[in-house]
Each structure stands twice: as C-alpha cells, then as structure tokens.
A and B are shown apart, each in its own frame.
Chain A
Amino acid sequence: MMSNQSSIRSGRPVQVIRAIVKHSLFIPCAFLIILILINLFINPGFLKITMGSDSNGNPVLIGNLINIMNNATELVILAIGMTFVTASSRGQDISVGATVAIAGGVVMRVLCGSETQPSTLHAPILVALLLGCLAGMACGAFNGFLVSKFNIQPMIATLILFTAGRSIASFAMGGLKPKAVESFGYYGNFIPGFPIPTPILITIVIIILTAIALRKTNLGLYTRAVGVNAQSSSMNGLNPAMIKFMTYIVLGFCVGIAGFIQSSRVQTVNPYTIVPSIEMDVILAVALGGNSLGGGKFNMTGSIVGAYTIQTLTSMLTTLNVNTNAVPVFKAAIIVVLVVIQAPVFKSFFKSRKDALKADSNKDKERDSYVVE
C-alpha cells in the first residue's frame, strides 16, 4: 500500500502498474476479474441480482453472484483454517473432505438418531452444531497430534483420515442415510422472510471472527513465527508443537462448521459423495491467494479471495456442462501452473534472464537500481 501511494505521487504510471502487479492480492483478484469477464461473455446477465420468491412465497435473492457466494461458503471457511495449517506446519491437510463428511455424519446422527425419516429432531440444533464441531476438532486434534508430536509430514499424517474418513462417517451414521425435517434446512438455505442465504451470513460472521482473532490476538504472529523458523521461535519462548496443534484444532473447528452447513443444505448426508475433492479446491484457494505452500508468511485476505475465485471457476465449468467428476482436471492444471510460478527455481531462472537482458541494453542505468534493491 505504501509503495503504491508514493509511486502515485511521483506520477509515473509504469511504477504504479508495477506496484499493483507486485501487490500480494494481484494474482487472485486478476484471476477473479478475468473469470467474471469470461462469464459475462458467456452470459451477459451474469451480474444481475433480482428479488424472487421461493416455493413458499418467501422473498429470496436470486442471481449468479449470490449462488457463487452461497456455494463458496464451505470453501471459504475451510480455506481460512487451511491457511493457518499451511503457515504453521509447512504442509496441507488433505483430509478436510473426509472430515467434513465425519462432522456432517455426526450432525445427522445427533439430529435423527437411528430413524431414516424422523418427524421431529432428536436433539436441539445447537447441540448438533456443537457436537459436529467437536467431531471436526477431534479429527483436527488427531492430525495435529501426529504432526506436532511425532513430526510426521502433514500430508502423510492426514492421508490416514483422507482414506478412512468417509468410511468413519458412514460408520458414525450407522450405514443409514437419514433425512432431517425441513426446519433444519434454514442454516444451509434461507431463513423464511429473510432474503439473503444463511450460509453467506455465516461466512461473514466467520470472516469477522478471523479478522478479530488476527488483529487482537497473537495467533497470526505466532503462526507466522513457527512457520518461518520453528527453531528460532522455540528459542524465543514459543512452543512450536503446541502452536501447530492449535492450528489443526482451528481447522477442525472450521471443518465442523462446514460439515454443519453442508448437512443442512439438503438435510441429508451421503458420506461418500459429500464435498467431492474439496481438499484440492481448498489447497488451490490457499495457493491462489499468494500463500507459499511451503509455510511461513500467510495472507488471509488472499485465501478468501482465492476461495471465491475457485467457486466462480467451478460454477463456470458447470455452466459449460463439464461433468462434475471432470472438473478436477482443470483445477489440477491450474494448481500446477500456480505452484510452478511460485517455485524459486522458476523465479530465479526468469530473473537471471531478465537481468541479463537489462544488463545488455543499458548497463549504467540499471546498476543504480540494483544497488537500491
């Protein structure tokens, strides 16, 4: 920001552009804008938001943007947790999809008991939410314990739940696929009489909570410190293992919320198909947000913008009639390109070439700027 303003004052457009390009939010924002432009090209009414009414006559907002924001809820919430985990433990949790299934399964089991189509809820929804979050946090604790206590690479440690999670969810639900009463659907759809989808409101609450946690507590600072250099942070009196463990608990809490919303959307959970390949989306959102997947510094705003960008991409591909199972192809390609661009080898290769070119064209002029840099 600072460099941005100063360059505007000096009035040199090239520098302004350079400052914008160098800004950490440039890649996700540019990507989002390009996607929206492509969407506008496909469908000129893409940005239109209208007031409609659902089958019961309640007012609801209708529009592509609302849909995207609504569907991105789980992704945004998980991306927030994943950013912490990535920053502190220098690796990603690939079990999020499976653990969302577990949390959702627990929520359904608590609400429906052993009936497939109960006429009333077996427990208050708040209890279900709490138990769902607890289940998510237990999974996070398991992963975090393996990572922080036994020093196992995060992706290996989470591979265990990645494979077993959906089976555990099926086990937790007793092999049933219960359907809860309609009133449980308020949290994944609309509260009657209120036009904005509830998941969007939940997302806003979570984002505000995260912002407060980052501003008012040392969570962000400690996470960064541990991720940048665990050894020196422990010499400064931090306990790196504890902080890594904490970040996994935070992710587990996010998983619990996501599982709750997801189960509320259709008031049922199929553990084997719920949130398919979301782990890929979440990692992609974090990478797209300008975060290094190798840990250390992080940029929460970037992750959130990245998550919305990914959802825009997904819904665009769905509009283009791409099979749901084939969508990961594009995402896999994008993530590889992004990671390659981030890679130090790639950067230094291009930097050295650029430097060589510059040095050839005007040696004296550039020498000063090298000194400054």
Chain B
Amino acid sequence: MSSNNAPRTATRRLLPKNLLNRGKMTDTSFLLTITITLFIAIYALAVIFLGDKGFGKIQMLFNLFNENSALIVIACGLSIVMVTGSIDISVGGSTALICTACIVCLNNYGFNFLTSLLLALAIGLTFGIVQGFLIAYIEIQPFIVTLAGMFLGRGLVALIEVNQIQVANKAFEALSGKRIEIPFLGDVNKKGIFIQSKLEYGVIVALIIVAIIFFLLKRTSLGRSFYAVGGNPQSALMLGINVRRTRFIAHVLCGLLAGIGGFLYLFHTRSGSVQQATGLEMDAIAASIIGGTLLTGGVGNIIGTLFGVLTSGTVLLIVTAIGSQDPWWPQITRAGMLCFFIILQSVICSRKKKTN
C-alpha cells in the first residue's frame, strides 16, 4: 500500500512526547485568547447584523447566562475530568435522573428546597464515586464506564416516572421564579418604559463555582496535580503524585458538579422527563473543547470553558434568531461546531509535535 510512507510515520511516533513543563502555559493562554476573541467577535457580529432580533438588548446577554447556568457548572466538571485525560459522558443522564427524582420527591414526599438539593448532590456524588472508582482503580476505559452511566441514568428515570412531570411544590416554584434586578442596566421597550435587566440566582451560583474551580486549578496542589496527571501520568507518578487518587478525585468532583448543575437545571426548567437534557454531555464537552481544554489531557482553563459555553450558547441563539423553523438545525450546528474545534485542536497538536 504505502510502504514508503511507513518508516516516516514510525519515526514521527518515536519522537519524545510533549513534556510537561514545556510550552504548556503558552498553549493555555493561546487557546484562551482564541476563545475570548471568538466570543466577542460572534456576539459583536450578532449585535450588528441581528440587532433588531433582540441581540441589541442588554437583557439578551443576561438571558445567555440565565439559559446556560447549569451548563456552565457541568462543563466545569467536565473540564476537570478532561484535564486529567479522562472523560465523562454520563452528565446528561445524571441530570435527567436528578430532575425527575427531585420532582417526584418534591411533589409526593414533602421534600423542600434544601432536602432536594441534598438529594441532587447525593445522586451526582454517587455517579462520580462509582465511575471514578471503576476508572481510576479498576482501570476501565472512561468512555465505557460513563456510557453505561449515561444509559443507567436515563433508564432509572424511566423506572421512576415514564411521563414528563412538572414541579407542583409552591415554595420551590416561588423560589425558582425569583430574579435579581440589576441596578442601572436595562432596556427600553416599545412603549418607552425602562425595564431593568433580570438575572437568575443560578447564574450567581454558577459564577461562584467557576471562581472556586479557577482557584482550585491554579493555586492548589490538587489542581496542579490534575494537570500533571493529564499531561503525563508516568512523570506525575515519578513526581510522587498519587495518580489513581487524583483521577478518582477528578471524577468525584465532576460528579459533584454534575449534581449541582443538575439541580440548577431543575431550578431553571422545573420539569423532568426521560428525554430531558439529551446531548447535554456533548454541549459540555464541546464547551470545554472550544474553551481550549485538550482532549489528550494536561491543558485546560476554566475561564476558557466559561467562554466556550457562552460562545456555543450565542451560536445557538443566532441559529434560532435567523428564523429557521426546522427543529434539526440547533443540534446539527452544535455537532458541526464540535467537529470544527476537535479538528482544529488535532491540527494544532500535531503541528506542535512536528516542531518539537
């Protein structure tokens, strides 16, 4: 077939891999710059060309946050896992499970806000602990484990409740309907009345979590060990890092964040069904990838992930604003975006390998 091609690929493979300490920070900041520029460019273009369809309003920017607060939290969890070189595609399933389980408990068993939050965290943590154990200590491919987790989550939803259900708990509904009014910011509507911009409480939670995870990854030894394990497990082991425990903790953290994210999702939508949050895992992975987290592990940034979520959210808003009535375009756009960024990443990585 291509016998003359074979030796060259072989020698390329034998070259030493990207070592941990070389060029990592520039990598991160490079990808981060791309992401932030991209977001600003896309949003600016939307404001210029689609300003009359609502993009000119300040509330649109806040809506972007309102709609995506759950995704931001879940994507943070996925970024952590992806930095360690693993992956978790069960977050959509566990979100659906959290929504349905919490609604059933809220409606029928007299749960209040706090107990349902605890239930959500417990479900998320259970997923994280079991999957983390199987991946880190039994060394099973993360994809297989979390694929099983995804189907398990959705299947359990069907065992609890087959039909779509709504929250019928007055206190919970009242709480989730509350909005923060932002002072001095707002839009003038058609009648000339000034309406203040509104923000959901979930967004505040999401932003606090982003800040915590940012601090965790940048400033703590645990965060640094995530990068070390993802970059090169062998050398991380030689540095005295407990690789297995680090991987395990990453998955537990991801599960915990999926629990919080799932609860925020419930807080925002107030409904639950088997088909809920389909493709959420893909959105989260796509956001992480757009934000500059490498699939191979070792490189990633939470701020990038935040902007990744906002970028993909903006693109989806644009697709709906352009006015295509066909239900399939958002999903296809998402996948196209993911495809583009995966290929971009792969090209950047192979280029770097060549120059080294």
Which A residues are within 8 Å of any B CB, using their own CB? 91-92, 94, 146, 150-153, 155-157, 159-164, 166-168, 170-171, 175, 231, 234-235, 237-239, 242, 277, 279-280, 283, 287, 293-294, 323-333, 335-336, 339-340, 343-346
> At the interface, yes or no: B189 with Cβ under 8 Å from chain A?
no
Smallest CB–CB gap between B278 and chain A, Å?
8
Contact A343 B140 (CB under 8 A): yes
Contact B282 A150 (CB under 8 A): no
Interface string of B300-344 (1 = CB under 8 A from A): 000000000000000000000000001111011011101100110
A167-B331, A235-B10 given; A335·B144 CB < 8 A: yes
A94-B147, A170-B327, A344-B139 given; A328·B154 CB < 8 A: yes
| Cβ-neighbour of A237 out of B3, B151, B279, B334 (below 8 A) | B3
Contact A234 B10 (CB under 8 A): yes
Contact A160 B138 (CB under 8 A): no
Smallest CB–CB gap between A44 and chain B, Å?
29
Contact A234 B335 (CB under 8 A): no
| Cβ-neighbour of B2 out of A150, A151, A239 (below 8 A) | A239
| Cβ-neighbour of B279 out of A163, A287, A326, A328 (below 8 A) | A163
Contact B13 A231 (CB under 8 A): yes
Complex Cα distance A170/B332, Å? Answer: 11
A-B contact pairs, 11 of them (CB 8 A): A91-B141, A92-B143, A152-B342, A160-B335, A167-B332, A175-B326, A242-B1, A293-B141, A323-B158, A328-B155, A339-B140
Complex Cα distance A162/B143, Å? Answer: 14
Contact B141 A163 (CB under 8 A): no
What are the residues of chain B within 8 A of A231 when measuring CB–CB? 10, 13
A163-B279, A164-B332 given; A325·B157 CB < 8 A: yes
Contact B144 A293 (CB under 8 A): yes
What are the residues of chain B within 8 A of A345 when measuring CB–CB? 137-139
What are the residues of chain A within 8 A of B155 when measuring CB–CB? 325-330, 332
What are the residues of chain B within 8 A of A153 when measuring CB–CB? 143, 295
Q: Which residue among A159, A168, A324 has the maximum number of chain B CB atoms within 10 Å of its CB?
A: A159
Complex Cα distance A280/B146, Å? Answer: 11
Contact A146 B144 (CB under 8 A): no
Complex Cα distance A190/B48, Å? Answer: 60
What are the residues of chain B within 8 A of A280 when measuring CB–CB? 147-148, 151
Smallest CB–CB gap between B272 and chain A, Å?
13
| Cβ-neighbour of A164 out of B2, B335, B346 (below 8 A) | B335
Smallest CB–CB gap between B149 and chain A, Å?
7
Contact B138 A159 (CB under 8 A): no
What are the residues of chain A within 8 A of B148 when measuring CB–CB? 280, 332-333, 335-336
Contact A150 B154 (CB under 8 A): no
User: Which chain B residue lies CB-closest to A170?
Assistant: B328
Contact A339 B145 (CB under 8 A): yes
Which B residues are within 8 Å of any A CB, using their own CB? 1-3, 5-7, 9-10, 13, 87, 89, 134, 137-141, 143-145, 147-149, 151-152, 154-159, 162, 274, 279, 282, 285, 295, 326-329, 331-332, 334-336, 338-339, 342-343, 346-347, 350
Identify whether the interface residues of A are mostly helix, strand, loop, or mixed: helix
Complex Cα distance A330/B342, Å? Answer: 33
Contact A151 B346 (CB under 8 A): yes
Complex Cα distance A283/B150, Å? Answer: 14
Contact A164 B152 (CB under 8 A): no
Complex Cα distance A153/B141, Å? Answer: 12
User: Which chain B residue lies CB-closest to A166?
Assistant: B331
User: Which chain A residue lies CB-closest to B328?
Assistant: A167
User: Which chain B residue lies CB-closest to A154?
Assistant: B143
What are the residues of chain A within 8 A of B342 when measuring CB–CB? 146, 150, 152, 156-157, 160
Contact B158 A325 (CB under 8 A): yes
What are the residues of chain A within 8 A of B154 when measuring CB–CB? 325, 328
- Apart from A159-B338, A235-B10, what 5 extra A-B contacts exist at CB < 8 Å? A151-B350, A160-B339, A163-B335, A238-B1, A332-B155
Contact A234 B9 (CB under 8 A): yes
Smallest CB–CB gap between B244 and chain A, Å?
10
Contact B346 A150 (CB under 8 A): yes
A94-B147, A157-B342, A293-B141 given; A239·B331 CB < 8 A: no
A153-B295, A167-B332, A332-B151 given; A325·B274 CB < 8 A: yes
Contact B1 A237 (CB under 8 A): yes
Complex Cα distance A242/B6, Å? Answer: 12
| Cβ-neighbour of A277 out of B151, B335, B350 (below 8 A) | B151
Smallest CB–CB gap between A216 and chain B, Å?
19
Q: Which residue among B87, B89, B148, B327 has the maximum number of chain A CB atoms within 10 Å of its CB?
A: B148
10 nearest CB pairs, A to B: A164-B335, A325-B158, A329-B155, A167-B328, A328-B151, A167-B331, A150-B346, A332-B148, A332-B152, A328-B155
What are the residues of chain A within 8 A of B336 when measuring CB–CB? 164
Smallest CB–CB gap between A332 and chain B, Å?
4
Smallest CB–CB gap between A221 and chain B, Å?
14
What are the residues of chain B within 8 A of A150 when measuring CB–CB? 342-343, 346-347, 350
Smallest CB–CB gap between B133 and chain A, Å?
10
A167-B332, A235-B6, A242-B2 given; A340·B134 CB < 8 A: yes
A156-B295, A345-B138, A345-B139 given; A325·B162 CB < 8 A: yes
